[in-house]
Amino acid sequence: MKQHVLTGQNVLRETIEKYHLTESFLEMGMNICAYHHEKFNGKGYPEGLAGEEIPLEARIFALCDAYDAIRSKRSYKEGLSHLEVMKRIVADNNQHFDPDVVEAFLECEKKLLAII
């Protein structure tokens, strides 16, 4: 399971190199693939990066991915309420998640609720 980050990174890197692509969104996508399981406190994978060593796009995606995973029903678990997910995200502030990203997410909460 932990290899999916490297697989995604490698597929994008090889595509970028093969076709001499220069669009910045491709590099951002590669960073998201590679680093979205890093944790702000350095206890994530694959490299154990911490804080701002983790690309910003991966720090943002990590929070969004966690929100979606906790909220969503899976074959092995029920989805949790928005309130419960928010409590978990706030509890992991400065551990799993970048505090600046958490703050921005909290500022957008009303817009998120309007969508969902």
Indicate the domain borders of the chain.
4-115
Q: At what angle do helices 56-71 and 24-35 cross, to 10 degrees?
A: 60
Using pLDDT thresholds of 50, 70 and 90, give the confidence band for residue 1.
confident
Tens-digit pLDDT profile for residues 33-42: 999 999 999 9
Contact call for residues 50 and 21 (beta carbons, < 8 A): no
Domain 4-115 sits in CATH at 1.10.3210.10
Tens-digit pLDDT profile for residues 88-113: 999 999 999 999 999 999 999 999 99
Greatest Cα pair distance, the chain, in angstroms, is 45
| Residues written for the chain | 116
In DSSP terms, which residues pair with 93 in a beta bridge?
97
Amino acid code (one letter) for 4 = H
Amino acid code (one letter) for 37 = H
Count of C-beta atoms within a 10 Å radius of residue 14: 10
